[in-house]
């Protein structure tokens, strides 16, 4: 029998302690990092577990039955998450996205949503509160999520061809059940709904047109994501990336498109409208067209590590501070000091780096930190 090799250094252990600055940093909503980027978007991972094994994210060979997920005691509680989120909102966050792993696997998630839904920005506005899901449990949970105060959802779906999709999620999950989840979300008003499709050349690029035709005219915004070199386990190769420019070219040959202006500063997707006015699509070009200049996103891991970039090799461990009895002001100041020192711009630098470079260690996994 061959020996099992796990090519993974446990990223969860790589973190920097967080200190409270000696001078408080008041929450003005005007926080900037070293490149002047504000803090507007917080992505919170609520679990590191998933019921899918998408090969680009949680390949089966690594995330098998022996994989050590975080123990329950390591996870931030809903109260802890809400308290941290509140400090981020005070510093200017306007949008919170729950992610994972598969966020709908976290028990009683509606309770967390209800707690986050009552947070208000400094000028009294509700947050843009959303969630990214693989859709497998959405048909069952859509109504409860809506009732708890979730505004909208993004559903990941990599194709309409059942065999292709079953192979990509690698647990034989059918397309029809995800489509039923999307319909349920639409029915209960969890919109505008976005659908994310990761495009892998030679695997599902034949699904680009069928997916566009399916969602055209439905009010659902389909977004094509370039397959990214995130994490250290998916065996990423540049020749499997289908550049967004090619996606747009293939689509517009059949379904004419016109460019649209960005919906918001820091928006990751480039928007295109159907020339006949029947809706829009987006392309997220994280490999071929860096968008670090406007990146206003922070990521909070399931156990309270703050990451400043999707390609970071270290987190900032907020949990000890959260559990130390520090005041809200101290917590807010510590978060502000971390953001003020941020200089991450991995996607911009990628072109000039040797392949698989991760300065200071291996990169975190997408399933750990969320998209």
List interacting residues with ligand SAM (CB under 6 A).
Answer: 50, 56-57, 99-100, 102, 132-134, 156, 196, 198, 225, 227-228, 230, 234, 366-367, 370-371
Contacts of 345 (CB under 8 A, 6+ apart): 35, 290, 292, 293, 295, 309
Q: Which is nearer to ligand SAM, 49 or 83 (CB)?
A: 49
Q: Which does 345 bind (CB under 5 to 8 A by kind): ligand SF4, ligand SAM, none?
A: ligand SF4
Residues 139 and 178 sit within 8 Å (Cβ to Cβ): no
Residues from 351 through 370 that contact ligand SF4 (CB under 6 A): 367
Residue whose token pair is 């509700």: 126
Q: Which does 215 bind (CB under 5 to 8 A by kind): ligand SAM, ligand SF4, none?
A: none
Q: Which stretch binds ligand SF4 (CB under 6 A): 82-90, 208-216, 345-353, 354-362?
A: 345-353
**Binding string to ligand SF4 for residues 48 to 87, with x set by CB under 6 A, is what?**
--x-xxx--xx-----------------------------
Q: Which does 339 bind (CB under 5 to 8 A by kind): ligand SAM, ligand SF4, none?
A: none
**Binding string to ligand SF4 for residues 305 to 334, with x set by CB under 6 A, is what?**
----xxx-----------------------
Q: Which stretch binds ligand SF4 (CB under 6 A): 20-28, 111-119, 287-295, 356-364?
A: 287-295
Q: Say how many residues touch ligand SF4, by CB under 6 A.
A: 23
Distance in Å, CB of 102 to ligand SF4, minimum: 5
95 beta partners: 41, 128
Distance in Å, CB of 52 to ligand SF4, minimum: 4
Q: Which does 310 bind (CB under 5 to 8 A by kind): ligand SF4, ligand SAM, none?
A: ligand SF4
38 touching ligand SF4, by CB under 6 A: no
Q: Which is nearer to ligand SAM, 31 or 284 (CB)?
A: 284
101 touching ligand SF4, by CB under 6 A: yes
Q: Which does 228 bind (CB under 5 to 8 A by kind): ligand SAM, ligand SF4, none?
A: ligand SAM
Q: Which is nearer to ligand SF4, 209 or 292 (CB)?
A: 292
Q: What is the dihedral of CA 351, 260, 196, 119, to 10 degrees?
A: 100
Q: Which is nearer to ligand SF4, 70 or 117 (CB)?
A: 70
Residue ranges in contact with ligand SF4 by CB under 6 A: 50, 52-54, 57-58, 100-102, 134, 156, 291-292, 295, 297, 309-311, 344-347, 367
């Amino acid at each position: 029998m061959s020996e099992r090799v796990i090519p993974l250094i446990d990223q969860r252990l790589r973190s920097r302690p967080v200190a409270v600055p000696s001078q408080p940093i008041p929450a003005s909503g005007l926080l900037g990092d070293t490149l002047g980027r504000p803090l507007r978007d917080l992505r919170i991972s609520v679990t590191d577990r998933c019921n899918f094994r998408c090969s680009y994210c949680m390949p089966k060979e690594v995330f098998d039955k022996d994989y050590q997920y975080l123990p329950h005691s390591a996870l931030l509680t809903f109260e802890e998450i809400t308290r941290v989120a509140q400090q981020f909102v005070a510093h200017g966050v306007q949008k919170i996205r729950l992610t994972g792993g598969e966020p709908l696997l976290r028990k009683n998630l509606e309770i967390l949503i209800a707690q986050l839904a009552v947070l208000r920005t400094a000028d009294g506005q509700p947050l843009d509160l959303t969630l990214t899901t693989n859709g497998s449990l959405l048909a069952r949970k859509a109504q409860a999520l809506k009732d708890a105060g979730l505004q909208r959802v993004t559903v990941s779906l990599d194709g309409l061809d059942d065999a292709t999709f079953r192979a990509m999620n690698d647990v034989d999950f059918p397309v029809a059940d995800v489509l039923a989840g999307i319909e349920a979300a639409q029915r209960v008003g969890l919109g505008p709904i976005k659908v994310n499709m990761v495009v892998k050349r030679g695997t599902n690029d034949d699904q680009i047109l069928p997916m566009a035709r399916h969602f055209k005219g439905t009010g659902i915004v389909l977004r094509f994501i370039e397959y990214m070199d995130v994490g250290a386990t998916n065996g990423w190769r540049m020749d499997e990336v289908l550049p967004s420019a090619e996606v747009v070219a293939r689509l517009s040959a059949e379904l004419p498109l016109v460019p649209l202006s960005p919906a918001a500063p820091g928006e990751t997707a480039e928007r295109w409208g159907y020339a006949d006015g029947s809706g829009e699509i987006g392309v997220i070009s994280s490999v071929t067209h860096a968008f670090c200049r406007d990146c206003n996103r922070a990521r909070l891991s399931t156990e309270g590590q703050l990451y400043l970039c999707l390609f970071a090799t270290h987190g900032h461990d907020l949990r000890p501070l959260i559990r130390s009895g520090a005041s809200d002001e101290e917590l807010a100041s510590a978060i502000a000091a971390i953001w003020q020192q941020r200089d991450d711009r991995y996607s911009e630098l990628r072109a000039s780096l040797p392949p698989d470079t991760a300065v200071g260690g291996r990169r975190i996994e997408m399933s750990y930190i969320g998209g």
